[in-house]
Amino acid sequence: MNPFMIALVLLSISILIAMIRAILGPTIPDRVVGLDTVNTLVIASMLVFGAATKEVIYIDVAIVYALLSYITTVLIAKYLEGGKI
């Protein structure tokens, strides 16, 4: 069996565990930390999926996703601080 597929299953499990923290809270920064971790794990699993199917397009999506998720995190952080966006 393709080892990249096994890695993808294990990464999905860790995404689910990180999701539990994003749902439980208790404060808003906790949820943001959970979301940030989920984002990084999604990028890693996109890389693995691209290698498993030998399609480069998934890795291109991962690059754009990394940059966009960073902007999201910084925006939420700015909003929590109480500054103007």
Partner 1 sequence: MMWELIYVLLGIGIFFNLLASVGLLRFPDVYTRLHAGTKCTTFGSIFVALAVMAYGLWKWYDGDEAMISLAIHAFFALIAILLTNPTGAHAIARAAYRSGVKPAKAVIDELGGEKND
SS (H, E, C) 1-67: CCHHHHHHHHHHHHHHHHHHHHHHCCCHHHHHHHHHHHHHHHHHHHHHHHHHHCCCHHHHHHHHHHH
Rule CB under 8 A: say whether 53 interacts with partner 1: no
Rule CB under 8 A: say whether 1 interacts with partner 1: no
Rule CB under 8 A: say whether 54 interacts with partner 1: yes
Cβ 14 to partner 1 shortest distance, Å: 4
Q: Residue 79 corresponds to which tokens in the numbers above?
A: 């909003």
For residues 51, 63, 73, 44, the Cα torsion angle rounded to the nearest 10 degrees is 10
74 alpha-carbon distance from chain centroid: 14
Number of residues counted as binding partner 1 (CB under 8 A):
47
Kindly identify the residues of this chain, within the stretch 14-43, that bind partner 1 according to CB under 8 A. 14-15, 17-18, 20-21, 27-30, 32-34, 36-37, 40-41, 43
Contact residues: partner 1, CB under 8 A: 3-4, 7, 10-11, 13-15, 17-18, 20-21, 27-30, 32-34, 36-37, 40-41, 43-44, 47-48, 50-51, 54, 56, 59-60, 62-63, 66-67, 69-70, 73-74, 76-78, 80-82
